């Protein structure tokens, strides 16, 4: 039996909706907005698609309960459509499943689409769903990540200023991105004086709750060549899961996330590269400190030294390793099912040299990385994309 090969799979089309408070658009409207752009980008007809994967974390009345939500949105019936969910890594999980299905030889052309409609909800953020009747009380995403951030800051003797550098950088990048939710530049002083949410995170340290959708169309490399498409190759994908209750593990240090380390090592090994070979990265900056932790867990810096990259400007557009040239979750917001695919979208357009002026990264090796982190840092997915 022939063994599947990931290097037979390429991305031939990407699309992304405008992210933001999209009260005038439904769940299906957002999905269609991203899908139609990806379909046009790929230069194919919807009937050419043989299967689809839908990423939605928090289904509601508007859709997302099953694969039929994708079929109804894009009006493609009689073909396999699967809904997947894996905490905040849901979007990249949809992409991963689609890639592996093509690699396995089951399909020639498929799509992965992530979409979430969060601004219509009554809650101010995502609900916490857990088993414990007491410990879950008052447990919020900012609070959970703040525990790790304060531990890190104490251990490595830093204050909130490096976190502010991350916020300023990502807002600057997002201000130049017409699809971002927040397109406003900010100063370090504004970050540090913003109302506190959960120390050390102020309002401007947190990504917003947002509506949005993103889509990728994948194909076998042979098919892409027949279509004469400007494709981007999938060099490596890694997924790793650790405990969803790290606070109960005595060896959890609260200074990083092992899931990201495991997932990135899988992806680097599959791609046959090292972190220093990357031209840029899109990482999961749900909070400013999380981006700093990601620098270290992804191998860009030693543990306890990632904050220096932010302070020294090494992760700026013109830095040594640009991070979140899109503006990141900090500017785009985090519609859970869409975020991972939105990162894939950004990596693809950057590698093609089609990013907006003012935020194009310098491409040397033709390699970019996308990283999704989910739950309380318990699941991570890393995708490495490159040229032909």
In the chain, where the domains are located = 6-121+209-227, 233-386
pLDDT of 132:
64
pLDDT at 135 over 90: no
pTM confidence score: 0.95
Q: What would the pLDDT profile of 18-74 be if each residue is shown by its tens digit?
A: 999 999 999 999 999 999 999 999 999 999 999 999 999 988 867 889 999 999 999
pLDDT of 2:
44
pLDDT of 119:
87
Same topology, domains 6-121+209-227 and 233-386? Answer is yes
CATH superfamily of 233-386: Thiolase/Chalcone synthase (3.40.47.10)
- Say which range, 59-73, 134-148, 208-222, has the weakest mean pLDDT: 134-148
Catalytic sites, residue numbers: 88, 334
pLDDT of 120:
81
Report the percentage of the chain scoring pLDDT > 90.
Answer: 84
Cα separation, 55 vs 124, in Å, equals 22
Q: What would the pLDDT profile of 62-101 be if each residue is shown by its tens digit?
A: 788 999 999 999 999 999 999 999 999 999 999 999 999 9
CATH node for 6-121+209-227:
3.40.47.10
Mean pLDDT of 252-271: 95
- Say which range, 22-31, 133-142, 171-180, has the weakest mean pLDDT: 133-142
């Amino acid at each position: 039996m022939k063994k599947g090969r990931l290097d037979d799979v390429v991305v031939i089309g990407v699309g992304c909706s405008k992210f933001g408070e999209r009260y005038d658009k439904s769940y299906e409207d957002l999905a269609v907005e991203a899908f139609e752009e990806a379909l046009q980008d790929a230069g194919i007809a919807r009937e050419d698609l043989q299967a689809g994967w839908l990423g939605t974390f928090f289904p509601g009345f508007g859709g997302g309960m099953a694969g039929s939500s994708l079929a109804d949105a894009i009006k493609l019936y009689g073909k396999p459509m699967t809904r997947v969910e894996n905490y905040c890594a849901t979007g990249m999980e949809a992409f991963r499943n689609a890639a592996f299905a093509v690699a396995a030889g089951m399909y020639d052309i498929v799509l992965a689409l992530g979409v979430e409609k969060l601004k219509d909800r009554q809650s101010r953020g995502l609900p916490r769903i857990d088993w414990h009747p007491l410990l879950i009380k008052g447990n919020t995403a900012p609070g959970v990540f703040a525990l790790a951030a304060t531990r890190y800051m104490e251990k490595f003797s830093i204050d909130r200023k490096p976190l502010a550098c991350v916020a300023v950088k990502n807002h600057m990048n997002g201000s130049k991105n017409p699809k971002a939710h927040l397109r406003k530049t900010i100063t370090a002083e504004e970050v540090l004086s913003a109302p506190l949410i959960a120390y050390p995170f102020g309002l401007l340290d947190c990504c917003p709750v947002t509506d949005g959708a993103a889509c990728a169309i994948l194909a076998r490399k042979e098919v892409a060549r027949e279509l004469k498409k400007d494709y981007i190759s999938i060099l490596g994908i890694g997924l790793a899961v650790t405990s969803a209750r790290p606070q109960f593990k005595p060896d959890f240090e609260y200074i990083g996330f092992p899931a990201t380390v495991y997932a990135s090592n899988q992806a680097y090994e599959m791609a046959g590269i090292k972190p220093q070979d990357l031209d840029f990265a899109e990482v999961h900056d749900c909070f400013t400190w999380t981006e700093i932790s990601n620098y270290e867990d992804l191998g860009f810096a030693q543990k306890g030294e990632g904050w220096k990259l932010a302070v020294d400007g090494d992760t700026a557009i013109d830095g040594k390793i640009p991070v979140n040239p899109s503006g990141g979750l900090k500017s785009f917001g985090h519609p859970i099912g869409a975020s991972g695919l939105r990162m894939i979208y950004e990596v693809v357009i950057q590698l093609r040299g089609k990013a907006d002026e003012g935020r194009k990264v310098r491409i040397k090796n033709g390699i970019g990385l996308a990283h999704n982190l989910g739950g309380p840092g318990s699941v991570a997915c890393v995708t490495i994309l490159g040229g032909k």
